[in-house]
């Protein structure tokens, strides 16, 4: 690359050299903490070692994801080898000025995912005057399993460390540390909700967007300890730093697969995930957000209409899942009658993890008078083929619209050959307005107990009063 294409900025650890783009400049794979290896493998993140020569930030850095998730997700998410997985990427319109910042936390069920996805490119946000930062973090056992001899919620500590890096360094990239919005999808949306309930993160952002945000259903300290016990019972290996520190990545992944495999002792997903340890995360996310303990940070949250409805499993498999979410007896029968045969397991996961949980959070915040906006993404391509049935608005389908990246690799396979650009313009525009002004605009009013205004993202976006009241009634929330 010629010097004419290079952009050099200072950080607290040393100079960073990025590359000019049509929309500004990008800096990839910048360390925000030391590689979590050796004695640091299960430790809290530590500041990176300073470097003397400019760091060439031309390529994405190593990812915590060690194997592709093509069988699990529609998002292209590369797995990149290397030890320095605690890195981030900065996409900026210009390294001068003071612009609002969006910090993006990827999904992947807290066991996978990659900040190097082309679906997370910052080009459209840069075009619209927003600096985008995408963050890598520790996953699975390394990030979230309770281990004797290690701090809990190490992945949460990674997110906080990345936000501290943004606070201390983003001004050099043209961003304003006083105008930071955090956002993420699926596990990343759960990360956003968790950070709202994390005292160490307070003051590091001013707004939040949770896209299909999911957390453990039972999230207290006892639940975290039960997962550690399940790990030992299923693997025969103690849940301790001493027992795990010397294992290879492949050996640890094998143990993790044993832990997360479905079974009668593990019927719900998100086995390894943030939990309320009493310190880093003092109380469960739902309790913190519904009670107002998470503060008055403005929050946009929502989900797709169908999320995981396509899961092809016999309906009888849904009963223990519904029971795990607390839906039993007549309520479970009402759920089955409402949705009909053939899709109960997928719908149980869709409602239990995302829709009923999101409505419950929005209701709780509305009762506290907290600034909240709720949405549901209903658009579907109408084209069968590929990963998605054509008539469903499934998990992840909303992201290319929110990022205004309908031409990104892999989008046509799931959104068809002619996804509506007008919908991307509207949805992306609402995000930009919220990031910039703390209000999504477009006549999208706050969610209140009186109106429960809900944005329905479709070919013709519209706000409907209490559009998700049926979900609340089915789940008794």
If you ran DSSP here, which 8-state letter would residue 5 be given?
A: G
Query: Over the stretch 162-213, which tens digit does the pLDDT of each residue have?
Result: 999 999 999 999 999 999 999 999 999 999 999 999 999 999 999 999 999 9
Question: Is a pLDDT exceeding 90 seen at residue 68?
Answer: no
Query: What distance in Å separates the CA atoms of residue 27 and residue 164, rounded to the nearest whole number?
Result: 18
Question: Is a pLDDT exceeding 80 seen at residue 133?
Answer: yes
Query: What distance in Å separates the CA atoms of residue 256 and residue 271, rounded to the nearest whole number?
Result: 10
Q: Which residues partner with 8 through β-bridges?
A: 17
Prediction pTM value: 0.96
Which residues form the domain of 171?
3-475
Beta strands in 163-309 (DSSP E): 175-185, 207-211, 299-304
CATH classification at residue 200 = 3.40.50.1820
- pLDDT value at residue 267: 81
103, two tokens? 């910090």
Q: Which of 114, 124, 186, 309 is catalytic?
A: 186
Q: Report the candidate in 228, 200, 216, 361 with the shortest Cα–Cα distance to residue 287.
A: 361
Across the chain, how many H-helices and E-strands are there? 16, 13
Place of tokens 């016990």: 229
Active-site residue flag, 307: yes
Active-site residue flag, 134: no
Across 55-77, average pLDDT: 84
Active-site residue flag, 395: yes
Which residues touch 229 (CB under 8 Å, ≥6 apart)? Answer: 239
Q: Which of 307, 376, 380, 381 is catalytic?
A: 307
Q: Which of 106, 146, 217, 395 is catalytic?
A: 395
- pLDDT value at residue 390: 55
Which residues touch 84 (CB under 8 Å, ≥6 apart)? Answer: 29, 31, 35, 61, 62
Element (H, E) at 433: helix 421-437
Number of structural domains (the chain) is 1
Q: Rounded to the nearest 5 degrees, what angle is found at the Cα of 423, between the Cα atoms of 422 and 426?
A: 85
Confidence of residue 71 (pLDDT cuts 50, 70, 90): very low
């Amino acid at each position: 690359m010629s010097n004419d294409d290079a952009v050099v900025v200072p950080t607290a650890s040393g100079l960073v050299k990025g590359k000019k783009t049509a929309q500004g400049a990008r800096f990839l794979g910048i360390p925000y903490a030391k590689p979590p290896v050796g004695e640091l493998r299960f430790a809290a993140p530590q500041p990176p070692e300073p470097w003397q020569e400019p760091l060439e930030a031309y390529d994405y850095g190593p990812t915590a994801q060690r194997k592709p998730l093509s069988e699990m997700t529609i998002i292209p998410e590369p797995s990149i080898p290397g030890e320095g997985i605690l890195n981030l990427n900065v996409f900026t319109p210009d390294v001068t000025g003071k612009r609002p910042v969006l910090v993006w936390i990827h999904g992947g069920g807290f066991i996978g995912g990659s900040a190097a996805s082309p679906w997370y490119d910052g080009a459209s946000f840069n075009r619209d005057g927003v600096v985008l930062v995408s963050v890598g973090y520790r996953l699975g056992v390394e990030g979230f399993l309770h281990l004797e001899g290690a701090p809990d919620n190490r992945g949460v500590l990674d997110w906080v460390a990345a936000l501290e890096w943004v606070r201390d360094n983003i001004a050099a990239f043209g961003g304003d540390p006083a105008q930071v919005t955090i956002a993420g999808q699926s596990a990343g949306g759960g990360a956003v909700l968790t950070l709202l309930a994390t005292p160490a993160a307070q003051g590091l952002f001013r707004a939040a967007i949770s896209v299909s945000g999911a957390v453990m259903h039972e999230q207290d300290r006892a639940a975290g300890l039960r997962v550690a016990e399940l790990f030992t019972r299923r693997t025969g290996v103690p849940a301790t730093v001493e027992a795990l520190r010397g294992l290879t990545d492949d050996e640890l992944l094998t143990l993790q697969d044993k832990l997360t495999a479905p079974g009668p002792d593990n019927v719900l997903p998100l086995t390894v995930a943030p939990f309320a340890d009493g310190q880093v995360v003092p109380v469960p996310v739902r309790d913190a957000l519904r009670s107002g303990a998470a503060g008055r940070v403005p929050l946009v949250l929502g989900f797709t209409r169908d999320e995981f409805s396509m899961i092809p499993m016999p309906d009888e498999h849904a009963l223990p899942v519904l029971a795990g979410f607390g839906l039993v007896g007549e309520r479970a029968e009402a759920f089955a009658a409402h949705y009909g045969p053939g899709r109960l397991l997928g719908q149980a996961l869709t409602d239990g993890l995302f829709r009923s949980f999101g409505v419950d959070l929005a209701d709780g915040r509305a009762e506290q008078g907290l600034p909240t906006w709720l949405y549901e993404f209903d658009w579907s391509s109408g084209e069968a083929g590929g990963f998605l049935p054509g008539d469903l608005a499934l998990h992840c389908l909303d992201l290319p619209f929110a990022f205004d990246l309908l031409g990104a690799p892999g989008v046509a396979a799931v959104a068809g050959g002619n996804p509506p650009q007008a919908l991307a313009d509207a949805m992306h525009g609402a995000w930009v307005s919220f990031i910039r002004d703390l209000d999504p605009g477009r006549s999208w009013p706050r969610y209140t107990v009186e109106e429960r205004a809900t944005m329905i993202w479709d070919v013709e976006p519209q706000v409907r009063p209490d559009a998700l009241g049926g979900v609340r009634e089915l789940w008794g929330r």
